């Protein structure tokens, strides 16, 4: 582990000296027998197969069930690193909620000219049906999964805000469970903050957002599109873990002014719906009339104040990558403070000058669709062939406003266990944030995604990424 | 003018209803052009689930048809005091920003025909005159008549077809005004035809917004601006936003609808 690291390695920094947060783990690892660890790695895979954590990959001819590879070397953050991160995320998430409320009501930020109107006008993620309405508790983003990347000792950046239905929290929980089962001795040696409270906190946070007409124990349901969805495992897992109902659209209907689910004892009223289906499919009476997944009338019941929808319809406007580029202004506008967490430098290709720069430097940049997610439809310049670059340049020229570009980041690395040794691989981090009128709660940890191929910078599970357990140490 | 209105919509279903919802926008509000006295919506064969203001400020009700019902009727009735403001509603704004009324919806997306009409409006020196001229031109191009268009017909399709009803006239007007950079919206409501009590159907017209005057109404089908014979019930970006009744029904079998409308002084 000695030598110059081109990228910041979270275990050994730039110069090969083991960083404090990793010292205890590093000592433990040095004492381990490589063969035993290799065996453990296989055990982990068996464990995941047995619990049923699999993942469907979109865009393949057959919906292929695949395991997200798990790496047994944890990603470790010191308490003080986490505290700073959490403060930054909290500030940003509070600003995003204020932004959404403003955009769907007075639109002061547009009138002040701090965010250009044209980014909202005609944006499909902007829902006119939300105008002039305040959701219960004035919360729009009940659950957020902020994507964080790191490039140096103190250099954290927000890559994406994921204000609409972020997935992956089940992996955070299962990864910890797996580590606890495989290496119980490690956790007695090293004090790691627990993440197992997440389902309980999720339940509490959602319940605190229930309409005022709900009783003291609001009924919560997870609305899933069904078993063919790539995240179905997570939907059923979360419902089970927090003691909520798992429902599909056809289980629900309007009863006495509320949304209710069919049970063996008749219809039972639901107060909070944690929906894992897209806005467009949510209500055929208000949005896409062809939708078979949604609940007819839910938007009417919502506007009448009789149900909480998490996350709020229309929250996705905050995920637009052109809006993202204004996030430092958005934070300042609503909190009156400078943003604690930095944004990644972003060129808006729709702006004159920016497009030319992006075309001239395409091979060094990452280009993303403004409405895209999950790593689909993006170009990673340094990894692209000449032909791919040329094809993408044409797409860019045809619809420049549809794209933003960012520099290829020198993402930090964390070692993974490869057969017998440690090898650095690039990572990102998705902490999970819960928002309610009672406050913002961030579970200490999150989902660390790791690009398993040597040198690769793409961590998305749909693009061959794996995951790691994420530790926040106790002081 | 004091108008007394009774508007009944009766649906009959071939097979009894299993589960069906209807969204109802039949409650007019006070505006500078009208004051509402004693208005009510009565439902037989169904149950009101919720009532709320939608994004356009329309008082909207969600109704569930009684399971097993084979007929449901919805009656909106009451008295409205109207006044003639030469078609000008004025600078009355809700929660929708004006720029949203410049956005085309699926039903008002312009094609070549509408763009040509819009170009004339765009070139007009005086926009108010331009809007009146445009209204006359649309009435000329699309003869009033039913049977050729339906609820899902787009403005451009209706223009091409050359025949349509008030809904088509209003949507063509809206589409062209927007294409010319003038915010415009759809209004559904009632019109008292002077020669009769029994009206054939609910009416629809358009409103355009000029910075000088605010919102101004244009009834293309009757070649006039709304006066004291008109009652504004709901507004929206197009027919779908402002439709008096729209619904969704599970199960098979045909349905039929009969509307009766009386508007009198």
Same domain, A176 and A115: yes
Say if CB A401 and CB A438 are below 8 A apart: no
**In the prediction, which pLDDT does A376 show?**
67
CA gap B220, B176 in Å, rounded: 13
| pTM, rounded to two decimals | 0.94
Whether residues A130 and B55 touch (CB distance < 8 A) is answered with yes
The token pair at A150 is 């790191």
Q: How far apart are CA B68 and CA B87, in angstroms?
A: 45
- Do B171 and B47 share a structural domain? no
ipTM: 0.95
Cα–Cα distance for residue pair A463/A401, rounded to 1 Å: 25
Q: Could A133 and B62 be called an inter-chain contact, meaning their C-beta atoms sit closer than 8 Å?
A: no
- Cα–Cα distance between A209 and B221 in angstroms, integer? 49
Whether residue B227 sits in one domain with residue B112: yes
Q: Within this chain, do residues B104 and B190 fall inside the same structural domain, yes or no?
A: yes
pLDDT value of position A427: 96
Same domain, A330 and A393: no
Chain Cα centroid distance, residue A88: 16
The CATH number that applies at residue B129 is: 3.10.620.30
Q: How far is it, in rounded angstroms, from Cα A320 to Cα A103?
A: 14
Report pLDDT digits (tens) over A415-463.
Answer: 999 877 899 999 999 999 999 999 999 999 999 999 998 888 888 776 7
Give domain status of residue A258, yes or no: no
Tell me how many domains chain A contains: 2
pLDDT score for A445? 97
pLDDT digit string, tens, across residues B43-85: 999 999 999 999 999 999 999 999 999 999 999 999 999 999 9
In a domain, A105, yes or no: yes
pLDDT (tens digit per residue) in B155-207: 999 999 999 999 999 999 999 999 999 999 999 999 998 877 778 788 999 99
Give the residue from B35, B59, B36 showing the smallest Cα distance to B48. Answer: B59
To 10 degrees, what angle do helices A198-207 and A169-182 make?
A: 150
Rg of chain B on CA atoms, in Å:
18
User: CA torsion, points A320, B237, B60, B199, in degrees to nearest 10?
Assistant: -170
| A178 shares a domain with A114 | yes
The values of phi and psi at residue B186, to 5°, are -100, 140
Q: In terms of domains, do B71 and B145 share one?
A: no
- Residue keyed to tokens 């704004």: B93
- What phi and psi, each to the nearest 5 degrees, are found at residue B129? -65, -40
Give B50 to chain A, closest Cα distance, Å. 5
Q: Which residue of B has its CA nearest to A110?
A: B97
Measure the CA–CA gap between B228 and B216, rounded to whole angstroms. Answer: 14
Residue B253 confidence (pLDDT): 85
> Could you report how far apart the first and last alpha carbons of chain A are, in Å?
26
**pLDDT value of residue A30:** 92
Q: How far apart are CA A167 and CA A173, in angstroms?
A: 12
Contact B55 A253 (CB under 8 A): no
Q: A70 with A152, same domain?
A: yes
Q: In this structure, are B125 and B192 located in the same domain?
A: yes
- The verdict on A60 and A159 lying in the same domain is yes
The residue ranges of DSSP E strands in A264-409, in sequence order, are 266-270, 272-275, 308-310, 342-343, 347-348, 365-369, 379-380, 403-407
Query: Cβ(B262)–Cβ(B231) under 8 Å?
Result: no
CATH number at residue A388: 3.30.1490.270
Report pLDDT for A54. Answer: 55
Q: Do residues A390 and A431 make contact, with C-beta atoms less than 8 angstroms apart?
A: no
**Residues B94 and B70 placed together within one structural domain of the fold:** no
Q: Which residue has the tokens 């965010």?
A: A115
Residues 88-147 of B with CB under 8 A from A: 94-97, 99-100, 102-103
- Beta carbons of A334 and A94 less than 8 angstroms apart: yes
Same domain, A132 and A35: yes
Tokens of A175: 């990864």
Cβ(A101)–Cβ(A437) under 8 Å? no
**What is the pLDDT, as a whole number, of residue B196?**
79
Tell me what pLDDT residue A230 has: 80
Per-residue pLDDT tens digits of chain A, which is 475 residues long: 445 678 999 999 988 899 999 999 999 999 999 888 888 888 887 777 666 555 554 444 334 456 678 999 999 999 999 999 999 999 999 999 999 999 999 999 999 999 999 999 989 999 999 999 999 999 999 999 999 999 999 999 999 999 998 888 999 999 999 999 999 999 999 999 999 999 999 999 999 999 999 989 999 999 999 988 888 989 999 999 999 999 999 999 999 999 999 999 999 999 999 999 999 999 999 999 988 899 999 999 999 999 999 999 999 999 999 999 999 999 999 999 999 999 999 999 999 899 999 999 999 999 998 886 656 678 989 889 999 999 999 999 999 999 999 999 999 999 999 877 899 999 999 999 999 999 999 999 999 999 998 888 888 776 778 999 999 999 8
B151 interfacial to chain A (CB closer than 8 Å): no
| A303 close to B (CB below 8 A) | yes
B114: confidence class by pLDDT, cuts 50, 70, 90: very high
Burial label, B194 (beta-carbon count in 10 A; 0-12, 13-18, 19+): exposed
Q: Token pair for residue B156?
A: 């451009």
Whether residues A323 and A387 fall in one domain: no
Shared domain for B109 and B189, answered yes or no, is: yes
Q: What is the DSSP letter of A11?
A: T
Tell me the C-alpha distance between B256 and B265, whole Å. 30
Residues forming beta bridges with residue A404, ordered by sequence position: A348, A368
Residue pair A235/A52 in contact (Cβ under 8 Å)? The answer is no
Question: CA torsion sign, B103 to B108 to B109 to B114?
Answer: negative
Helix, coil or strand: residue A428 = strand
Question: A interface mutation test: which of B64, B97, B104, B237 has the most A CBs within 10 A?
Answer: B97
Q: What letter would DSSP give residue B132?
A: H
Give the three-state DSSP class for A31.
Answer: helix
Domain shared by A93 and A61, yes or no = yes
Domain co-membership, B13 together with B29: yes
Query: Which residues in chain A touch residue B23, judged by CB atoms under 8 angstroms apart?
Result: 285, 300
If asked whether residues A201 and A349 sit together in one domain, one would say no
- What residues of chain B, 175 to 194, have a C-beta less than 8 Å from chain A? none
Q: Judge: A107–B95 Cβ closer than 8 Å, yes or no.
A: no
Contact B50 A131 (CB under 8 A): no
**CB contact, 8 Å: B251 with chain A?**
no
Question: Does residue A353 share a domain with residue A441?
Answer: no
Q: Do residues B94 and B205 both lie within one domain?
A: yes
Quick check: bond before A311 cis, omega within 30? yes
A39 token code pair: 């065996």
How many whole angstroms separate alpha carbon A62 and alpha carbon B187?
48
pLDDT of residue A455: 85
Instruction: State how far the Cα of A405 lies from the Cα of A81, in Å rounded to an integer.
Output: 28
- Please report the DSSP string for B41-78 in residue order: EEEESEEEEEEEE-TT--EEEEEEEPTT-SEEEEEEEE
Query: Which residues constitute the domain of residue B182?
Result: 88-242
A284, A289, A294, A298: CA torsion to nearest 10: -10
Task: Give dist(CA A358, CA B120) in Å, integer.
Answer: 40
Please indicate, yes or no, whether residues A349 and A468 belong to a single structural domain of this protein: no
Q: Which of A364, A381, A407 is the last residue of a domain?
A: A407
**CATH number of the CATH domain containing B24:** 2.60.40.2250
Q: How many domains does chain B have?
A: 2
Long-range contacts of A51-57 (CB under 8 A, 24+ apart): A51/A174, A52/A233, A53/A170, A53/A171, A53/A174, A53/A233, A54/A233, A55/A230, A55/A231, A55/A233, A55/A461, A56/A228, A56/A229, A56/A230, A57/A230, A57/A462
- Give CA A251 to chain center in angstroms: 28
* Both tokens assigned to B62: 């969600």
Q: Do B53 and A297 touch (CB under 8 A)?
A: no
Kindly state whether residues B227 and B254 are assigned to the same domain.
Answer: no
Looking at the fold, whether B44 and B173 belong to one and the same domain comes out as: no
A430 closest CA partner among A445, A415, A441, A451 = A445
Q: Do A107 and B237 touch (CB under 8 A)?
A: no
Whether B103 and B226 map to the same domain: the answer is yes
Judgement on whether residues A369 and A455 belong to the same structural domain of the protein: no
Domain of A403 in residue numbering reads as 345-407
Q: How many CA atoms lie within 13 A of A108 on its CB side?
A: 7
**Tokens representing residue B45 in the block:** 């064969």
State which residue of chain B sits closest to A257, comparing Cα positions: B49
User: Would A142 be classed as within a structural domain?
Assistant: yes
The mean pLDDT of chain B is 95
Q: Chain B residue with minimal CA distance to A131?
A: B55
């Amino acid at each position: 582990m000695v030598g110059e690291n081109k990228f910041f390695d979270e275990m050994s920094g730039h110069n090969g000296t083991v960083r404090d947060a990793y010292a205890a783990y590093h000592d433990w690892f040095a004492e381990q027998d490589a063969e035993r660890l290799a065996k453990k790695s296989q055990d982990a895979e068996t464990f995941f197969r047995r619990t049923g954590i699999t993942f469907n990959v979109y865009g393949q001819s057959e919906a292929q069930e695949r395991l997200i590879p798990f790496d047994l070397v944890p990603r470790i953050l010191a308490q003080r690193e986490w505290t700073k991160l959490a403060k930054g995320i909290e500030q940003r998430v509070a600003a995003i909620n204020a932004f959404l409320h403003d955009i769907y009501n007075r639109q002061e930020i547009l009138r002040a000219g701090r965010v250009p109107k044209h980014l909202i006008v005609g944006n499909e993620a902007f829902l006119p049906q939300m105008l002039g309405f305040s959701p219960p508790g004035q919360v729009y983003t009940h659950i957020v999964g902020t994507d964080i990347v790191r490039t140096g000792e103190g250099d954290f950046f927000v890559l994406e805000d994921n204000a609409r239905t972020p997935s992956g929290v089940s992996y955070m929980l299962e990864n910890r469970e797996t580590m606890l089962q495989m290496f119980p001795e490690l956790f007695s040696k090293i004090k790691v903050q627990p993440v197992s409270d997440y389902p309980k906190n999720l339940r509490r946070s959602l319940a605190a957002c229930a309409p005022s007409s709900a009783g003291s124990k609001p009924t919560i349901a997870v609305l899933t599109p069904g078993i063919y969805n790539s995240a179905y495992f997570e939907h059923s897992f979360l419902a089970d873990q927090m003691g909520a109902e798992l429902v599909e659209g056809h289980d629900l209907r309007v009863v006495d002014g509320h949304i209710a689910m069919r049970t063996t004892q008749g219809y039972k009223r639901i107060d909070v719906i944690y929906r894992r289906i897209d806005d467009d499919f949510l209500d055929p009476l208000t949005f896409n009339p062809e939708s078979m997944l949604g609940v007819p009338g839910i938007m009417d019941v919502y506007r009448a104040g009789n149900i909480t929808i998490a996350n709020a319809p229309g929250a996705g406007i905050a995920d637009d990558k052109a809006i993202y580029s204004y996030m430092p202004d958005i934070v300042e506008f609503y909190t009156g403070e400078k943003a604690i967490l930095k944004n990644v430098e972003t060129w808006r290709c729709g702006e004159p000058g920016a497009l030319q720069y992006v075309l001239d430097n395409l091979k060094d940049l990452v280009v993303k669709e403004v409405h895209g997610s999950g790593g689909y439809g993006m170009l990673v310049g340094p990894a692209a062939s000449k032909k791919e670059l040329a094809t993408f340049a044409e797409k860019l020229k045809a619809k420049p406003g549809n794209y933003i570009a960012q520099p290829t980041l020198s993402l930090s690395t964390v070692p993974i266990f490869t057969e017998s040794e440690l090898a650095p691989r690039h990572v990102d981090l998705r902490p999970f944030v819960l928002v309610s009128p009672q406050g913002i709660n961030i579970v200490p940890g999150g989902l660390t995604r790791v690009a398993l191929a040597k040198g690769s910078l793409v961590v998305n599970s749909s693009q061959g990424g794996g995951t790691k357990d994420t530790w926040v140490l106790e002081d | 003018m004091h108008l007394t209105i009774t508007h009944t919509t009766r649906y009959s279903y071939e097979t009894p209803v299993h589960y069906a919802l209807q969204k109802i926008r039949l409650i007019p509000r006070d505006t500078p052009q009208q004051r509402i006295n004693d208005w009510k919506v009565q439902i037989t064969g169904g149950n009101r689930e919720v009532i709320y203001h939608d994004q356009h400020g329309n008082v909207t009700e969600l109704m569930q048809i009684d399971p097993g019902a084979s007929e449901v009727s919805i009656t909106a009735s009451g008295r409205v005091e109207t006044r003639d403001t030469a078609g000008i509603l004025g600078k009355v704004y809700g929660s929708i920003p004006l720029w949203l009324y410049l956005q085309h919806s699926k039903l008002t997306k312009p094609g070549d025909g509408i763009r040509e009409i819009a170009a004339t409006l765009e070139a007009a020196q005086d926009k108010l005159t331009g809007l009146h001229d445009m209204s006359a031109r649309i009435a000329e191009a699309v003869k009033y008549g039913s049977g050729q268009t339906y609820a899902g017909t787009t403005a451009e399709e209706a223009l091409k077809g050359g025949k349509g009803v008030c809904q088509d006239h209003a949507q063509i007007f809206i589409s062209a005004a927007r294409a010319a950079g003038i915010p415009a919206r759809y209004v559904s409501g009632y019109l008292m035809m002077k020669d009769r009590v029994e009206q054939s159907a609910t009416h629809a017209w358009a409103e355009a917004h000029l910075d000088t005057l605010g919102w101004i109404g244009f009834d293309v089908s009757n070649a006039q601006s709304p006066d004291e014979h008109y009652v504004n019930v709901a507004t929206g970006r197009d027919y779908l936003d402002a439709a008096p009744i729209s619904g969704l029904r599970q199960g098979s079998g045909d349905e039929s609808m009969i509307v009766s409308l009386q508007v009198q002084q």
